[in-house]
Structure 1
Amino acid sequence: MFARTLWIVALSCVTSLKATAEESTAVDPPEAGEVLERLAGEAEVKPLPQDDGATFYRSGEYRVTTPLPEGYPRPTPPGVVEIKRYPEVRRATFDGDGAGPDGMRNSGTAFFPLFAHIKTRGIAMTAPVEIEYQGLEGDNDKPDSYDMSFLYRSKSDGKTESYANITVADTKPVTVVAIGVAGDVTLEKVNASIVELKEAIAESGQWRVAGEPRVMGYNGPDVPQPKRWGEVQLPVVPANSHK
């Protein structure tokens, strides 16, 4: 309960920094990501433009009310499988050991150092929080290690750097197959989603897996568990690619 309360306070404090952070030097806008194709599901997403240029999203009872990084594609609705392309993004990453977060359980070890990082630099919170799992194959097993990342809304929000368990660096653009997930994205749900994603791309015949799974969490503990919105993703490349 104490950790949950701290997390809610952290999210509230960091979001409020958005109004007081110093203006940064303008940079060229990033190449935008996009949804390339839908492989399964029918749920739709409604964009909700905000006065500050951000866009929030709604799909049925699910909501995203924190800005995404510039150029990020919209969330994938629960039960839908899509191919999406993500642009380069700057992010702060905590390098974790062991199985790591299981939904929101065991997440504080990485979350609070990342929170302290953006708070001390006056960087506002974005969605999603990303978790990459290493050694997870989708057969109800546990990962060997994990990385949790907070994403910068723009590269101009902060410099690249590295200290302790945190590294701020720019990711490479990536294409993924994604499935929307309702509620906490537990390891059980991650494993089940990996199996479903592999079946979907095998059926399409157009893609093959090219990396480790990652989880996108769009809501914090202030949102009731059944209404939280997340995704499980696998990096992919065209089936005929030699990469």
Structure 2
Amino acid sequence: MSASLPQGFPQPTDTNVIEVKEYPQYRAVTYTHTGDSRMATRAAFNPLYQHISSNQIAMTTPVEARYVKEGKQTEVSFLYSTPDMTPQKIDSRVMVRDTSPMMVVSIGIQGAYSWESYEQNLQKLKEWLAQHPEYEVVSPPRRLLYNSPMTPEDLKRSEVQIEIRLK
């Protein structure tokens, strides 16, 4: 990882491991992309980068992509290092939002950030959930992307996650 994790974030899940993790409250700047979810992170990069640059906010890892309406609406976020950071300027193309603490089931991935990889690993999480009826899904899936575009494809790390709670 080339940047630090937000305060209190757990380490990335190991490759091909499925685990339940807890995340603290965090603050992020978010761009909502309407259209093909495969293009969301690319479309979001410039508005998000301009926001952190104009507010002199350090880049953290991971970048978060929430698939609100899979294939049609995606929220892409750059996470702030602490939940109390307050930007001075907010462009109309982005919004700052707080996310409450959450529990997720997560699978660690190494390799290209392809849509096929996302779908295959999401299916593995759904199969895991079918075998663990003590949990219920709380919200749509998300993806955490840990590396810069300059990282070789085969070395990139990511996670697919589904927010859950005990029934």
TM-score, with length taken from structure 2: 0.92
Rounded to whole Å, the distance in 2 between the matches of 1:193 and 1:182 is 11
Q: Deviations over 1:125-174 (max 9, x none)?
A: 000000011233xxxxxx11101000000134324875422001211111
1:204-223 correspondence to structure 2 within 5 Å: 204-223=132-151
Gaps of 5+ in 1: 1-63, 137-142
Rounded to whole Å, the distance in 2 between the matches of 1:69 and 1:227 is 22
> How far apart are residue 106 of structure 1 and its match?
5.8
Q: 2:8 aligns with which of 63, 71, 80?
A: 71
Rounded to whole Å, the distance in 2 between the matches of 1:90 and 1:160 is 14
Q: Percent identity?
A: 34
Equivalent residues of 1:161, 1:167 under 8 A apart: no
Equivalent residues of 1:160, 1:169 under 8 A apart: no
Equivalence for 2:161: 233
Structure number with larger C-alpha Rg: 1
> How far apart are residue 115 of structure 1 and its match?
0.3
Equivalent residues of 1:160, 1:168 under 8 A apart: no
Q: 1:134 aligns with which of 47, 50, 68?
A: 68
Q: For residue 43 of structure 2, give the secondary structure of its aligned residue in structure 1.
A: helix
Is 1:108 aligned to 2:42, yes or no? yes
RMSD, aligned α-carbons: 1.8
Is 1:123 aligned to 2:63, yes or no? no
> How far apart are residue 227 of structure 1 and its match?
0.3
Rounded to whole Å, the distance in 1 between the matches of 2:140 and 2:90 is 23
**Distance change (3 Å), C-alpha of 1:200 and 1:160:** farther
Rounded to whole Å, the distance in 1 between the matches of 2:125 and 2:89 is 34
Is 1:182 aligned to 2:110, yes or no? yes
Rounded to whole Å, the distance in 2 between the matches of 1:200 and 1:214 is 16
Q: Deviations over 1:164-192 (max 9, x none)?
A: 22001211111111001111232212221
Equivalence for 1:195: 123
Equivalent residues of 1:161, 1:168 under 8 A apart: no
Q: For residue 25 of structure 2, give the secondary structure of its aligned residue in structure 1.
A: coil
Equivalent residues of 1:129, 1:148 under 8 A apart: yes
TM-score, with length taken from structure 1: 0.64
Aligned residues: 167
Rounded to whole Å, the distance in 2 between the matches of 1:77 and 1:230 is 9
Gaps of 5+ in 2: none
Rounded to whole Å, the distance in 2 between the matches of 1:88 and 1:180 is 21
Equivalence for 1:158: 86
Is 1:168 aligned to 2:96, yes or no? yes
1:70 partner amino acid: Q
Equivalent residues of 2:55, 2:88 under 8 A apart: no
Equivalence for 1:98: 35
